Amino acid sequence: MTNGLFTKQFQDMADNAKQFVPEVKFNKNGYEIRTQMLEMAKAQTWQDYNAKLGMFQTSVTKEGDEVVTTVEMPQVPGVEQVLAAAQKFYDFVNQNTSKYTSKK
């Protein structure tokens, strides 16, 4: 009887462990691939923006009797920048990299 109890406990443990194991999908449909490309492009675009934000420029100049302070901030990325980045990722995945590699 202990062998049956051991087997049942082992099976219960295996069933409980399934909830912690990620579901593996080997084939993604086109919608899932495009969504993932868009997520990657959005993350990359905002990462670039945040890097530029850390390097904003401030200049102080004297114009006549006044001191003028100028602060140049990077432009906040919009949909067009994200879609352009997504297209670059998508072209790369589809091996359309002639635009991004130098020819000898």
pLDDT tens digit sequence for 25-48: 678 888 888 888 899 999 999 999
Question: What is the domain extent for residue 54?
Answer: 29-93
Q: What is the pLDDT of residue 15?
A: 81
Is 104 among the domain residues?
A: no
Q: How many CB atoms lie within 10 A of CB 41?
A: 21
Is 35 among the domain residues?
A: yes
Question: Helices 30-53 and 79-93 sit at what angle, rounded to 10 degrees?
Answer: 120
Is 2 among the domain residues?
A: no
Is 16 among the domain residues?
A: no
Is 49 among the domain residues?
A: yes
Is 60 among the domain residues?
A: yes
CA distance 61 to 11: 75
Q: What is the pTM of this model?
A: 0.52
CA distance 45 to 51: 10
Residue type, 57: Q
Can you give the length of the chain in residues?
104
Return the sign of the alpha-carbon dihedral for residues 46, 75, 33, 97: negative
Which residues in the chain land under pLDDT 70? 1-3, 25, 96-104
Q: Return the closest-CA partner of residue 45 out of 4, 69, 1, 76.
A: 76
The number of folded domains in the chain is: 1
Q: What is the pLDDT of residue 104?
A: 47
Is 45 among the domain residues?
A: yes
Is 52 among the domain residues?
A: yes
